[in-house]
Amino acid sequence: MVPKGENVRMGDSKRCVFCEIVKGERPAHVVLDAPDAMAFLDARPLFKGHTLLVPRTHYETLTDLPGESLGPFFGHAQRLASAMESVLGAAGSFVALNNRVSQSVPHLHVHVVPRNRKDGLRGFFWPRQKYDSDAEAAEYATRLSNALANPA
């Protein structure tokens, strides 16, 4: 999510919040740090563990991502979805992305959200949850990161 009052021009990687996270210029709870992609907890999660997966290179939309990068990128999304179940005890996951419309940060990103039956997520009226503390967010990031580094 773009912090309130901060504008990011489309395609401008110099002012991109996600590029700043990738470069280590902005703090985030990192879940995955791979040569081609990074995943970190969403600052305004639908549910605790809600993770954003981004390519390290600034691509605005899915159609901008080179074809040879699709498999590896979505391989990371697949592993994150699996970690939601194995580590967080979720019954499943919601995996989605927006292209331009409803894309709050103009940098390709995939939402991987832990889901459970009757969790309150209905249509597009999504409840937002907060972590009780920065330490709790860090603990969720560590649990997911460890699952990705040491698959069962």
pLDDT (tens digit, 9 = 90+) per residue, 21-49? 999 999 999 999 999 999 999 999 989 99
Who contacts 49 (Cβ-Cβ below 8 Å, separation ≥6)? Answer: 41, 84, 88, 90, 113, 114, 140, 144
Task: Report the CATH number of the 13-149 domain.
Answer: 3.30.428.10
Distance separating the N- and C-terminal Cα atoms of the chain: 32
Closest by Cα among 44, 58, 47, 60 to 14:
58
- Which tens digits make up the pLDDT trace of 58-78? 999 999 999 999 999 999 999
Q: Which residue has the tokens 């305004």?
A: 44
- Are β-strands 30-33 and 51-55 bridged in parallel, bridged antiparallel, or unpaired? unpaired
Distance CA 142, CA 120 (A): 26
109 is catalytic: yes
Residue 132 has pLDDT above 70, yes or no: yes
* pLDDT at site 3: 38
- Are β-strands 110-115 and 92-96 bridged in parallel, bridged antiparallel, or unpaired? antiparallel
Q: Are 17 and 105 in contact (CB under 8 A)?
A: yes
Six-digit token pair at 12?
A: 């401008």
User: In the chain, what are the domain boundaries?
Assistant: 13-149
The single residue of 58, 76, 107, 109 carrying the catalytic annotation is: 109
For residue 146, the 8-state DSSP code is H
- Which tens digits make up the pLDDT trace of 90-123? 999 999 999 888 888 999 999 999 999 988 877 6
**Global pTM value:** 0.78
> What is the C-alpha R_g of the chain?
15
Least confident stretch, 8-12, 40-44, 135-139: 8-12
